Structure 1
Amino acid sequence: MNVRTPADPTAVAEKPRLGREFGKFWTAAACSGVGDGISLAAAPLMASKLTDDPRLIAGVTMALTLPYVVFGIPAGVLVDRFDRRRSMAVIDFVRFGVMAAFTVTVLLGQTYLAVLYLCFFLVGTGETYFRNASQALVPSIVARDGLMHANGRLVATQSATTQFVGPLAGAALFTLTPVLPFGVDALTFLVSALLLSRLRLTVRQEFIDTAGAESGAARRLLADMTTGARWLWRHRLLRDLAMMAGALNFVSAGAMAVLVVYAHRSLGLSDLGYGLLLAAEAAGAVLAAPVAPVLVRRIGRDHALVIVAATHTAASLTLWLAPTWPMAVLAFFVAACGSVTWDVVVVALRQTLIPDGLQGRVNSVYRLVAWGAIPLGAAAAGMISHRFGPPAVYGFGAVLMVLIMLRMLVGARRQWITRALATEAAR
């Protein structure tokens, strides 16, 4: 019986070559990231022009992330059923059409909150499949010993574009005219789709249709959906990490959902100043991306995740107790460093430990737990901000982060990641 022995995703002696096809994939990710960052800055600004209710402004984040809950698991089944590269290209062509149509409504002055919500709900629906397929596709482009470096580059690029270049451009373009940021975002979806359509894979995808044919019967959709849930539930390490990721995302989503209100009311910043806060977060992520793999190798995966929790705790406390723009810049910078470290550790673990034929289904369940908390965090933040003011959102987040940090400390003392990897390798 052949048993897959997972490699240690952090045990990389030297930086491997990632190859030409990864270069295409990276370029598509960079282009799409710029567009995402532009809209992520422009959409809350648009909402703030249509309403001053923080609950309704936070609704933009809810609309974008609600599809993770509604369509997350079915999307994972589809990731394993269909060609990932072609599907991603098709999705970006569709998102180009959606964003182009929304741009027309802005141009004609027919933008309403419901239209804004609908547009970002559709974009988020495509993102639910796209993100899952994207992470599952990396091992088909990059050798296993290059996964951590590939993920590091992708995280750095995503942070630089989605949180630095994009938000600055989005805020600046919005001050000129609201139509520009959404039009540019539409074009980035188109360019990304064209690049993905030219991508060649070095490893053939394992389709679940093939397994169904060998058994003599087609797999039912419900059975495929539950397969990923059962696998994740039985894998204690990834199951625990999914729950921790959900708690972290609940806090982070709340922080971002009311950020535009916090920036305007508590910090007295302009629309461009709001973009600068997002840029500060991205700067931390970009600077942390090359350092995080080195840090993980030196202190180990277990203690690296304790640092993640500590940085987010410090950031929440700072935003709550010291609501000034210099401290806010520092808080978002530090929190981003922690987020990058989390991705370097956890994404590589999932890509290594989950069999290729199950990548889509298991990742979809993982995302349901981890990302399903995002709309909940946004909704909670909107209500807390409306009742107690924006700083209270970060105070509530600080309390939750202390509890999360204590859980990480217990896990590090028990070496929960190191022991789980050793057990898996011994099977």
Structure 2
Amino acid sequence: MTAVDPSAGESTEVVPLRRNRDFLLLWTGNWLQFFGSRLSGACYPLLALDVSGGSARAAGLASMAAVVPYAVLQLPAGVLVDRWDRRRVMEICAVGRATVLAVVAAAVLLGSLGIPWLLALIAADVSLAIVAGLAERASVLTIVPAAQLTAAMAQNEARGRSAGLLGGPLGTVLFSWARWSPYLAGAVGAAVAAVNIRFIRADCRPPRAAQRRLVRRDLADGLVWVRRQPFLRVAIPLTAVAGGFLQVVSLALVVVLVKEQGHDESTVGLLLGISGCGGLLGALTARWWTRRVPLPALLCGGFAVWALLMAGMYVVSSPVGLGVLFGAMNLIGAVFGVAAAVYQMTMTPHEMQGRVAAVAGLVTAAGSTAGALAFSSLIDRFDGPTAILLSAGGMALVALAALLVPAMRRARLVTDTPVAPAAEAADPTSV
């Protein structure tokens, strides 16, 4: 069996992912790094509370410091990833994150950490993670043959889901034992990732890396390219709107369980655990779904099923039942994540991978932020179940809009052809 190498366009014998040395180095190293990030990230608000003497405002600032880089840094990071050696970028970011987390651990151990320094270190940690994530996503194209891209992205999705499922709970346990321990564990994970990345042999440099142009011109080229793609031009905003409704539902579930039903906070952990298992199952089965279900059915049908599951939450009240419904939503979300990543990566010119992924990430993050803001207004006027029902209606409108757009109905997921070699690559929705 042969496959087309996206970077060279030549047929070579396909090596199974389990024997692809570079992919294993990247996957295992970054799993440890992601796991460490979940350990430390879950504890940042708790650490802010501890350092500030119990200030809720400090915890809010810590959460904000972890969100702001997504709005500020994504587009410039995409330009950087499309200019520099992506393997080198990942290595520098891993070393940087190991240093930042080690500094946090040392400062906590010595009792010398203040809120301003904590906020700066959180922002640095998240910023390095954003750049590294974009670089890794683009590097997969040179490490994995195009025919195995779906399987690779499904494994990456499962990696993130499993790290989130295990890292958050374990991080809080470590934090209760020793405040510095989650951050030291995160530093070790990032250091191992840096070593693994150092031994990757694949050439991860983007085309035309020697060119030097104005950053705003490179950024404008990426934005223009996305705008000219009928499918991406519609799919990215619709996905962002859907993400906003998902954010409303996730926040409303906490209000329903803790405030309105009077359950203990540990019940929220139960719900998140069940839903996390759903997301992991979706990642593990994403390849099966993408092989058997056309992309339009995955997207339009997925939005519609999301709306039905949300409506079901209006009538279901038990924590386990809500967790199962939320887990089913996460299963769909994981399949979405793999399908969207494969489509974007196979249709985007190699030299624009960073910028296009950054645009999609920025718009999606904006949708989640808008959902969080909308939740504040909804919960002031309605109870939790009503907020969820209104979100179900909004999601149904998203599904209808996706069904009515021709570009959404004509899209096809292509996994056995090389990445588009030039910015003028044709959009498959025109086929």
TM-score strictly above 0.5: yes
1:255 positional shift? 4.9
Matched residue, 1:191:
192
State the SS of the aligned residue for 1:209. Answer: coil
* 1:404–1:110 Cα change, 3 Å: farther
Q: 1:94 aligns with which of 71, 96, 108?
A: 96
> What SS class does the counterpart of residue 206 from structure 1 fall into?
coil
Distance 2:105 2:256 in 1: 27
- Greater mean deviation of Cα atoms: 42-51 or 292-301: 42-51
Aligned counterpart, 2:130:
128
Q: How does 1:210-249 map to 2 (within 5 A)?
A: 210=210, 212=211, 218-249=212-243
What amino acid maps onto 2:219 in structure 1? M
Shift, 1:276, TM fit: 3.6
Larger CA deviation: 40-49 vs 83-92: 40-49
1:31 and 2:35 matched: no
- Give the distance between the partners of 1:328 and 1:39, measured in 2 at CA: 28
Q: Give the letter aligned to residue 424 of structure 1.
A: P
Q: In the alignment, residue 327 of structure 2 is paired with which amino acid?
A: F
How many angstroms does 1:295 deviate by?
A: 2.2
Whole-Å separation in 1 of the counterparts to 2:58 and 2:316: 26
Q: Is the 8 A contact 1:58 1:382 kept in 2?
A: no
What value does the CA root-mean-square deviation take over the aligned residues?
3.5
Change in 2 beyond 3 A, CA 1:188/1:16: closer
Between the aligned partners of 1:107 and 1:263, the Cα distance in structure 2 is 36
- Using the TM superposition, give the Cα deviation of residue 300 of structure 1 relative to its aligned residue in structure 2, in angstroms: 0.9
CA separation of 1:347 and 1:15: change in aligned 2, threshold 3 A: farther
Structure 1 gap ranges (5+): 7-13, 213-217
Measure, in 2, the Cα distance between the counterparts of 1:177 and 1:272.
21
* One-letter amino acid matched to 1:208: R
Greater shift, 31-40 or 236-245, is seen at 31-40
* Separation of aligned partners in 2, 1:412 and 1:15: 38
Pair 187,262 (structure 1): closer, same or farther in 2 beyond 3 Å? farther
Cα contact 2:403–2:409 (8 A) shared by 1? no
Counterpart position of 2:341: 347
| Map of 1:103 onto structure 2 | 105
5 Å-filtered alignment, 1:288-303, equals 288-303=282-297
Q: Which aligned pairs between 1:42-191 and structure 2 lie closer than 5 A? A: 42-46=43-47, 60-107=62-109, 117-162=119-164, 164-191=165-192
Of the structure 1 ranges 291-300 and 231-240, higher mean CA displacement relative to structure 2 is found in 291-300
Provide the rounded CA distance (Å) in 1 between the counterparts of 2:107 and 2:252. Answer: 25
More RCO (CA 8 Å, sep 6+): 1
Identity of aligned residues (%): 25
Going from structure 1 to structure 2, the CA distance change for 1:94 and 1:410 (only over 3 Å counts) comes to same
Is the 2:22–2:143 Cα contact (8 Å) retained in structure 1? yes
Note if contact 1:45-1:271 (Cα within 8 Å) is conserved in structure 2.
no
Matched, 1:206 2:197: no
Q: Distance in 1 between matches of 2:300 and 2:248?
A: 21
> Any idea what SS the aligned residue of 1:350 has?
helix
- Tell me how far apart the structure 2 counterparts of residues 120 and 254 of structure 1 sit (CA, whole Å): 25
Cα shift at 1:27: 0.1
Give the AA of the match of 2:239. Answer: A
> Which 10-residue stretch deviates more, 139-148 or 378-387?
378-387
TM-score (normalizing by structure 1): 0.82
How has the CA–CA distance of structure 1 residues 108 and 377 changed in structure 2, closer, same or farther, with 3 Å as cutoff?
Answer: farther
Cα separation, 2, equivalents of 1:59 and 1:385: 22
Cα deviations across residues 117-170 of structure 1 (Å, max 9, x unaligned)? 4433222212221221111110110000000000011111110112x1112212
Separation (CA, whole Å) in 2 of partners of 1:386 and 1:64: 26
* Contact 2:174-2:181 at 8 Å conserved across structures: yes
Q: Give the Cα–Cα distance (whole angstroms) in 2 for the partners of residues 304 and 87 of structure 1.
A: 34
For residues 380 and 55 of structure 2, what CA distance do their matches in structure 1 show? 10
- Specify the code of the residue in structure 1 equivalent to 2:333: S
Count of residue pairs the alignment pairs up: 407
Deviations 1:339-364 (A, max 9, x none): 11111211001110111111112222
Are 1:405 and 2:408 matched, yes or no?
Answer: no
Deviation at 1:33, TM superposition (A): 2.1
Deviation at 1:322, TM superposition (A): 4.0
Question: Partner amino acid for 1:182?
Answer: Y
Which one is further off, 414-423 or 188-197? 414-423
Q: Residues 268 and 86 of structure 1: is their aligned pair in 2 closer, same or farther, counting only changes over 3 Å?
A: farther
Q: CA deviation at 1:252?
A: 3.5
Distance in 1 (alpha carbons) for counterparts of 2:48 and 2:311: 27
Following superposition, the deviation at residue 384 of structure 1 comes to 4.9
* Segment drifting more, 98-107 vs 220-229: 98-107
Corresponding residue of 1:215: none
Contact 1:153 1:289 in 2 (8 A): yes
One-letter amino acid of the counterpart of residue 41, structure 1: A
2-side partners of 1:400 and 1:113: how far apart?
A: 39
Work out the CA distance in 1 between the residues paired with 2:238 and 2:390: 17
In the other structure, the counterpart of 2:417 is none
| Aligned residue number for residue 245 of structure 2 | 251
**Please, which moves more after superposition, 65-74 or 313-322?**
313-322
For 1:208, what is the secondary structure of its paired residue? coil
Given the alignment of the two structures, is residue 424 of structure 1 paired with residue 428 of structure 2, yes or no? Answer: yes
8 Å CA contact 1:136, 1:360 repeated in 2: yes
Contact 2:252 2:388 in 1 (8 A): no
Q: CA, structure 1 residues 385+370, in 2 after alignment: closer, same or farther (shift >3 Å)?
A: same
Deviation at 1:221, TM superposition (A): 1.3
* 1:34 Cα offset (Å): 1.3
Counterpart code for 1:34: F
Deviations 1:50-100 (A, max 9, x none): 7686x9766555432321221111111100111111111111221222222
Aligned to 1:9: none
CA distance in 2 between counterparts of 1:426 and 1:305 reads 18
Which has the larger displacement, 231-240 or 408-417? 408-417
